[in-house]
């Protein structure tokens, strides 16, 4: 006989309190009774130890993160089906409409109440990542729906991130909608960039930094240094206000793309060096090479909580040497995209590096990701990007 009732997950009292306070995740350690289902990414009812309803969630068969809350309403009040998910997608797109950008994040996972789904738009192309079993099981439908809602010609699946390993999901890159190459252009302020959605890192570019790129272009001056440049986002922005900019990028393919982007935009004052930023900083700090503006935007150095201490040591070394490369009154923009490193710990590390460099600094701005990457209240992990704008006195 077919099942007529929704599978139910009973959670501990601690887990119930956390979900009711606004945290949308529940780890398997807080699961008292798993739901009776073998469906991948099933939608299940969630109840507390006494059987009182909490809501409905995606259930993962193997991930340590067993439940991702979708709604605080029960199935009798709100059915979680394709119509439900389509409405959530429509709302996510509507929230971004006032931003009027051709390169932005259009779905930001839990913050848009679409747990485990991240979608970036680059012109007529969409790049999609699923980091939950529930969304992974539905990504073909999500791709078709988003193509219909946005008019995108291509939707690329970029499920090759390390977060998939934690969820016990296979890594893959493939075209879900459209045919042929997936190369698109988008703007960051007045600069035009090209991305290959099937071949470049992450979803193609680092759209969470776009507003910070533009801000750097407003503040920069003199000789600029952009470390971990990738496709030249900070470097090309700095080029509008700096006399010259040296962009340092270790990946040869990314460095070549940065050169092409500089040429495309006529940024003749940008030079791209294919080199390791640690080595370059060490050489500059020892040789006495100095800059008026330095941007430090390294990759995430702490993937897991147990790696935070090691990551902070690496961040400290980078920030220390970068500060030594600044001329008096120089501008320093330093970033961390490690979600496991909190804003307070990051700022404490930067100020410690400044003290070790024997530099007094002013904190001009504390920044984060753009408005298209909102933070979900109750989920601190969604505030992962930290940016400090400093002046070294």
Catalytic residue numbers?
337
The sign of the dihedral angle between the CA atoms of 16, 18, 22, 24 is negative
- Say whether 353 sits in a helix, a strand or coil: helix
Phi, psi of 289 (to 5 degrees): -70, 130
Q: How far is CA 134 from CA 61, 69, 116, 289, 386, in A?
A: 10, 11, 8, 52, 29
Strand 125-130 versus strand 117-122 pairing type: antiparallel
Q: Write the CA distances from 196 to 65, 181, 203, integer angstroms.
A: 32, 8, 9
Cα–Cα dist 161/143, whole Å: 18
**Which residues are CB-neighbours of 247 under 8 A, at least 6 positions away?**
226, 229, 232, 234, 235, 255, 258, 262, 270, 271, 272, 273
Distance, CA of 198 to chain centre: 18
DSSP letter string over 97-149?
Answer: GGG--SEEEEEEGGGGT-TTEEEEEETTEEEEEE-SHHHHTTHHHHHHHHHHH
Distance of CA 182 to the CA centre of its chain: 21
Instruction: Supply the DSSP symbol for 300.
Output: P
- State whether residue 29 is helix, strand or coil: helix
Contact 257, 231 (CB under 8 A): yes
């Amino acid at each position: 006989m077919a099942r007529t009732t929704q599978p139910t997950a009973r959670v501990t009292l601690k887990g119930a309190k956390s979900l009711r306070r606004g945290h949308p995740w529940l780890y398997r350690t807080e699961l008292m009774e798993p739901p009776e289902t073998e469906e991948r990414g099933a939608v299940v009812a969630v109840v507390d130890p006494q059987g009182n309803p909490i809501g409905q969630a995606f259930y993962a068969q193997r991930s340590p993160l067993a439940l991702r809350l979708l709604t605080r309403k029960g199935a009798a009040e709100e059915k979680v089906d394709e119509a439900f998910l389509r409405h959530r997608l429509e709302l996510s797109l509507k929230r971004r409409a006032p931003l009027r950008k051709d390169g932005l994040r259009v779905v930001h996972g839990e913050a848009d109440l679409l747990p485990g789904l991240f979608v970036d738009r680059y012109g007529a192309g969409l790049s999609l990542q699923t980091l939950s079993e529930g969304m992974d099981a539905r990504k073909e439908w999500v791709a078709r729906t988003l193509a219909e809602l946005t008019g995108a010609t291509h939707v690329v699946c970029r499920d090759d991130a390390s977060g998939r390993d934690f969820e016990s999901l296979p890594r893959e890159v493939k075209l879900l909608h459209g045919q042929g190459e997936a190369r698109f252009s988008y703007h960051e302020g007045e600069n035009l960039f090209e991305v290959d959605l099937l071949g470049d890192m992450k979803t193609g570019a680092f759209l969470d930094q776009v507003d910070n790129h533009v801000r750097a272009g407003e503040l920069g001056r003199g000789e600029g240094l952009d470390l971990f440049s990738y496709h030249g986002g900070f470097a090309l922005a700095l080029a509008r206000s700096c006399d010259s900019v040296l962009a340092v990028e270790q990946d040869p393919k990314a460095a070549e793309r940065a050169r092409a982007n500089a040429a495309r935009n006529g940024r003749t004052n940008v030079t791209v060096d294919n080199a390791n930023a640690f080595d370059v900083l060490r050489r500059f700090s020892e040789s006495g090479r100095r800059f008026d503006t330095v941007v430090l935007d390294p990759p995430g150095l702490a993937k897991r909580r147990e790696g935070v201490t090691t990551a902070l040591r690496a961040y400290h070394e980078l920030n220390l040497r970068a500060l030594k490369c600044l001329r008096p009154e120089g501008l320093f923009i330093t970033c961390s995209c490690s979600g496991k490193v909190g804003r307070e710990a990051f700022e404490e590390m930067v100020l410690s590096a400044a003290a070790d460099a024997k530099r007094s600094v002013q904190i001009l701005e504390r920044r984060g990701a753009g408005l298209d990457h909102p933070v979900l209240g109750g989920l601190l992990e969604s505030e992962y990007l930290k940016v400090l704008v400093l002046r070294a006195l």
